[in-house]
Chain A
């Protein structure tokens, strides 16, 4: 690795032993992937993946303490993934006991550490930090040190920023020294597509299903998606960005995609077109039958496969303001059709605190409340990630939640029917 004088001095310990170890970690991490230099982190804010005070992560908190005590804190303020708990979300006595005494007993302590390390504000807890209401939206070409997979793929693909799929702690360390190793998605070559995805469906593909199919096929490679502009347009409107948010999260969790290009839509695809496609790229055709095949391949992890759903989570990743408004209309309409007044499955829509705050100012908020749907800033994944919740029959339209938990995936239309008409 060729280091600048400044970087070498940090590595040599001129700014303290702890900062030297941070630099050593990043250098060794980068060298494993062929990085030959460290480049400055140029975004205004950082974003961290570790938002939860999980008791099991004690060694992480000790490491954080070492950073704080020696003043090796983040050079940028940062947002962080969603909180794991919210009293608005249905639970029971036993679940609350496990959450508060076994799983997330370090939550308050950890939030105190985040504050000392450079948290943007007390409500900067969301996986969709790039929403306008949150205020952590990187510019095209900026270099990031993020780790949250759904945010990394969005920042790279939709915003044209540059970030690798880092692990937690590495994200913080890049911000602490202000440099990250240059490899992979930080390079022009690493951003070229090695797969062509040819969309040949007869209707708009379900975003979460399409992302899942792409992710499972290309894994960590870069896909160039053709034929999607026919369904979601050639402008990055709110609706298109919401679609790409959900599709991208599925590519990143069902596979390990960190960047995709959509022909005639995403910034680099618009600028560079087919020249982004690497020589020898493979092709994956996605038609209606292929999407059905992928859908049918999902295992149902419930003990009783015919159980009545006890909870529905929408919003992994967190919903946009437009999505909350659109779903309010959908739920109202479907309830009216069914003759029901309230949803028949306890349902939670999750969004960032900042988006929820804006939503509360709209007339939609009272209308959604009247349907019985609960809104929350929680991370559904963190809620589900324990033995008790794992046994509960939970439904979701999130392919990320399906992948990491026992939640059962349904398409948006199916979810709507489940929560408003009992699946009829």
Chain B
């Protein structure tokens, strides 16, 4: 199944899907992993039953938007800088200002880190995609889900 979105940060990649149906609280999800050197970036947000305890690094993170503290953008930037970021971030809704800041900061300020970010993929995308599915992000902002 193919879904078309808008390119926030360009790039192509193939990775395994990890799905959050609720908003991703960026600080709560990443803080413990960044603090204690967890290279898998295990999600530490107890309020997110979809992600809690699962590896986020290297996954195609599928979500509606991010929520929570307005430190969210800089936390995402840090995750990227430390190599603990998801392979890509795929938003069903238009991206929120916190995730947008993190995505743009990483793309502009980090030379060797690429995390493709696509938004506005639609509610159907989030209903269709399941953990473990194969995700391919294409250069035109389309996303293949198998």
Contacts and interface: CB of A to CB of B under 8 A. Distances in A.
Given A167-B73, A220-B96, A21 B109 contact: yes
A170 B109 contact: no
B109 A33 contact: no
Given A25-B105, A32-B104, A169 B31 contact: no
B101 A29 contact: yes
Interface residues of B, number: 35
A24 B108 contact: yes
B95 A32 contact: yes
B102 interface: yes
Contacts of A62: 81
Nearest to B71: A168
Contacts of B8: 32
A162 B112 CA distance: 36
B100 A32 contact: yes
A34 to B, nearest CB: 10
A72 B117 CA distance: 28
A309 B105 CA distance: 41
Interface in B95-126: 95-98, 100-102, 104-105, 107-109
Interface string A21-50: 100110011001100000000000000011
A212 interface: no
A166 B78 contact: no
Chief secondary structure at chain B's binding surface: helix
A59 B31 contact: no
A147 interface: yes
Contacts of A56: 31, 34-35, 78
B108 A25 contact: yes
Contacts of A147: 70-71
B96 A50 contact: no
Interface in A373-398: 385, 387
Interface in A138-188: 147-149, 152, 164-170, 184
Contacts of A58: 78, 81-82
A1 interface: no
B77 to A, nearest CB: 6
B67 A256 contact: yes
19 contacts: A25-B108, A25-B109, A33-B97, A55-B35, A56-B34, A56-B35, A57-B34, A60-B77, A102-B35, A148-B70, A166-B97, A166-B101, A167-B70, A167-B74, A167-B100, A168-B73, A168-B74, A170-B73, A170-B105
In the A-B complex, the 10 residue pairs with the closest CB atoms:
A167-B73, A167-B101, A59-B81, A56-B34, A168-B74, A56-B35, A147-B70, A167-B98, A168-B71, A59-B78
